[in-house]
Structure 1
Amino acid sequence: MSINLVFVFQYVLSVLKFTYPTLFQGWQTLVGGLLLHVSWKLGWVEISLCSRSEILSWLPASVIFVGIIYAGSRALSRLPIPVFLTIHNAAEVITCGFQKFVQKEQISHLKVCSVLFLLVAAVCLPLCDTQFDPNGYLWALIHLICVGAYKVFHRLWKPNSLSDLDQQYINYVFSVVLLASASHPAGDLFSALDFPFLYFYRFHSSCCASGFLGFFLMLHTVKLKSSTTSGQYAAWSFLAKVITASLSPFFFAMTANVLIISCLVISGVGEALLVYTERTGT
């Protein structure tokens, strides 16, 4: 999780209020797809798309990916970063539940406890929020479900010839096509013409920064996954989230009370336990 990227997203979505997700996320995926394609053609990265059947088999995941970024934009435009991350973390409840009740895998008591911490924090958070935004939490819930579904699909997906970069390349291409097609029916295409900061240099620079940062974050994530164990990767991801959540109140307005902070701490403890189970294999 890139601190710079999340901060730029929050600035564009909640401060400048560019709430046209088909256009904003379409731009992100267009830049990411173009940069990944250029990097591939220049030989900087390796993309080896195989048979058409394997590409088609990955398309359901691409549909879910669009849901993740679209709902995430909607939620982040209305919720503070720490709140959004707390809801996001609860997606692990879906994957753990799938492992336990569908795949009938043995789940350690410590992992069950960690997931329960994440669930309790996510459920209690809107009840403690004095500035409760129903639309914000609804989109965060949809984002959570999509993240969990994406992880479950990844576990079930059988072909293994598509690398992480192959999968992301398909996600980018599919997202650009779908979001571009949806921009007019959703009303974003012409509504954005009335955006007050459309010709504002900070808006342009923020959009450019988010596009490039998103691409480099994706490359860094793929490299980190391939060069570390799952436990090490989970630890780095957890550290980045903690830093992001801790710094965000200094840059963006957030109304917090003891109960909200308690929920954030419970979520942090739950994810820390989850990282411990990943590192120890328990």
Structure 2
Amino acid sequence: MSKYLVKGTVNLKEYSTKLVEKNAKKKLNKIRKELSKIQNTMYAEGKYAVLICLQGMDTSGKDSLIREVFKDVNSQGINVHSFKVPSELEKKHDYLWRHYIALPGRGKIGIFNRTHYENVLVTRVHPEYIVGENIPSATSVEVLNDDFFNNRMEEINNFESHIVNNGTIILKFFLNLSKEEQKNRLLRRLRLKEKNWKFSPGDLKERKLWDAYQFCYEDLLNKTSKENAPWFIIPADDKSTARLLVAETILESLKTYNFKEPELPQKYQVEIENYKKQLQNE
């Protein structure tokens, strides 16, 4: 298993965000083709789905990672969901409902770009968002203490265990970006006219809460990385390297399942020559 797998207690200050792999783009190109073949076999076998969860601070490279890592996978075999502010319909259900209905079907790869973990990240930093969800027990910010969020993390663990038991393979990636590199990427969005549309003043407001988000990430990594739904901490200051590491980890993990295409039933196999003749004689 990848050396980036979360094992033991995580202290994010001990994790490097800087790593540069030589020939990362060339290596990724080869892995992409292998991922495509694996997904085709998965689809034919029809027993497993794969859920890739991507989390990281703003500008950590989630969008471009999805584009580059999965560009060779059949578009019909992949689903991407990005979870924003809950809609009015979504607020009428429990917080995991919208994630459950977005899960990939067997044979497909689903990608959550920002995930169900937003419910213990942005809402923990901004607990007033939860008060707005009209949950009976969440009557005020004051009641949304550590116990509330610890309970949510346990609910998330149970949610993931349930879908794993029913054939979903879960791989979760935290793109570990440095505050300095985020600054550089935000400045680039302001400097390059074609990137201006990506910038929001809200990015600067959230940046001021960097330490609060790092605490929340560290806490969830320690409490929700399980053998059946592991977290991987990926150094993300170099985008090409981050993409390669994620792709390598996915490929390494999926190869352990030995997916196999089903065989044609015996009663049809013995008739293959006859079927050929029927087509050739048309």
Give TM-score, length-normalised by structure 1.
Answer: 0.25
Q: Flag the structure with more relative contact order, 1 or 2, with Cα contacts below 8 A and sequence separation at least 6.
A: 1
Larger strand proportion of the pair: 2
Larger helix proportion of the pair: 1
Instruction: From the CA coordinates, give the structure whose radius of gyration is larger.
Output: 2
